[in-house]
Each structure stands twice: as C-alpha cells, then as structure tokens.
Amino acid sequence: MAASSNHPKMKRELRISDSVDELTTDLVEYIAQLSENSVKEKGRFTIALSGRSLIDLIGKLCEAPYIRTVDWRNWYFFWADERGVAKDHVDSNYKLTKDGFLSRVPVPSKHITSINDSISIGEAALRYEFDIRQLVKAHKIDVDVDADCPKFDLVLLEMGADGHVASLFPNKEALQEKTNWVVYLIDSPEHPPERITLTLPVINSAYNVLIVATGEDKADAVHQAVAVGEDGGDGFDVTSSPAHMVNPSDGKLVWFLDATAASKLCPRG
C-alpha cells in the first residue's frame, strides 16, 4: 500500500494505493482479516455488499490462499442495494454477485438473504427489511440498541462518480430516512430507475464500513466526501455527497482509494 492516514477526530482511515491491483490486494486482505476476527469472536461474519466493479475486486477472495483460509461457512450475506429487475437480468446486483463471487465460494445458500424479484419494488423493500429483522431476532445479526438498527460486521460500498453509495443518490429523500432500515426509490438518476437500498442509519450502525473508489472520474467526489466541509463551514450541503454522510457512530470507516481517485486530496506526506 502506498499510503495510509488516520483522521485525528474520527475513526476513519484513508488507504491509498498506487494502482487498482495494489488496492485489490490490500482490500481482500483487510476483508479476510475482518472475517477471521469476527468468526473467532462470535462464530459468524455478516456482510452487506454493493454491486458493479466491486465484484471484480473481491473476486480475488475466491482464489488462493483465501478460498481455503476464509471460513466461508460462517458468512451471512446481504445486499447494500439492489436494482428493481429480475434476478437473472444483466443489471441485477444479485446476478453479478452470484456469477462473479457467490458461485465460487462455499457460503451456505441459507445464509444468503437476497431481495425478492417477483413482487413490487415497495413490497420487496418491506420484505427485505422483515427478513433482516427476523435474523436480528434470531441473533444472527447483532443489533445497535441505541440506533435500533442491525449492526453488520461489514458494509462494503463502492462510491459512484456523483458521490452515491449503495442506492443513496445526491439530494434524494432517501438520505433523510431515520426510521426504516430499507427504502425503495423509483426515480434513480442512474439506470435502472427502481432501486432498493439500506438506509444511512443502518450503514452508520455497522462495525466496519469500507468505501472503495478508483479512477480519475471519482476524484472530485472523493474530495467532496473526504475533505470538504469537515469544519461544517462554507455552507457545504452534505446531501450533495451521500458518501460524506457515511460516518459510523461507533464503527470504523476505511476508504480504499487508488492514486487517481485520491488525486484531488492534499499531497501525501
């Protein structure tokens, strides 16, 4: 890894790699370590994951040594967001994850909580929240009592070039959600328009949140999410940067950036 820095006031770390290859190596090792610690401590590892290029990156976990060393049997798998399409549709995060990751690792199928694609998007959001609540009741997912939210061991996100994470897009109502764990939208600025997403209270209750961003097209959004308005000044509107609103209450936030995505941050020392 090229550089790492810790934010003095928050439990936040920036890990900046020279290349996407280096970032991938660092990211999968970090996830494998979180999984090992969690399984050792409580016998399970709950992970909620986003889609798209992230799936390519974590594909390395399906290779040696991780395919043998990770305790896949104790993973519990969830999605941070899903698109309102059938599970076999090319836009489906489920399909992407199944083809590129889940079909290559021995996570038990009963540990995989996917989003129902045979009902309306509103019903599917309610059903997904219900399923998560059942697992909290069954003590398969920890709970953040103060926030009344599930406490995932890891929420793994990729930031889009507009600063969105999961399906939480800039200036959208979903960013204001305080009570529900899962919401849906029918007007996503990115295709497809119907989406389901975990809400900020859930993401911010996790033990660990990792945000990945690679490529020059994400440099402005990284700068806005990480460096702008830290003092709350300059009239910065946080809802213009959903990634900026990711701020775990007592968990740890780690950004995994490649050098191009980090290029608008202060020079590294």
Ligand X SMILES: O=C1O[C@H](COP(=O)(O)O)[C@@H](O)[C@H](O)[C@H]1O
**Shortest reach from residue 168's CB to ligand X, in Å:** 10
Which of residues 26, 30, 51, 244 is near ligand X by CB under 6 A? 51
Residue 54 interacts with ligand X (CB under 6 A): yes or no: yes
Q: Which residue in 1, 17, 45 sits closest to 214, CA to CA?
A: 17
Binding span for ligand X by CB under 6 A among 8-16, 44-52, 135-143, 247-255: 44-52
Residue 158 interacts with ligand X (CB under 6 A): yes or no: yes
Q: Which of residues 186-215 bind ligand X (CB under 6 A)?
A: 190
> 193 with 187: CB under 8 angstroms?
yes
**Shortest reach from residue 187's CB to ligand X, in Å:** 14
Which of residues 84, 150, 160, 248 is near ligand X by CB under 6 A? 160
**Shortest reach from residue 94's CB to ligand X, in Å:** 11
Q: Which residue in 158, 172, 156 sits closest to 206, CA to CA?
A: 156
Residue 142 interacts with ligand X (CB under 6 A): yes or no: no
Q: Which of residues 57-96 bind ligand X (CB under 6 A)?
A: 81, 93
Binding span for ligand X by CB under 6 A among 12-20, 46-54, 109-117, 233-241: 46-54
Q: Which of 34, 85 has the CB closer to ligand X? A: 85
Residue 113 interacts with ligand X (CB under 6 A): yes or no: no
Which of residues 7, 52, 139, 268 is near ligand X by CB under 6 A? 52
Q: Which of 39, 200 has the CB closer to ligand X? A: 200
Binding span for ligand X by CB under 6 A among 52-60, 132-140, 219-227, 240-248: 52-60
List residues binding ligand X (CB under 6 A): 50-54, 81, 93, 158, 160, 167, 190
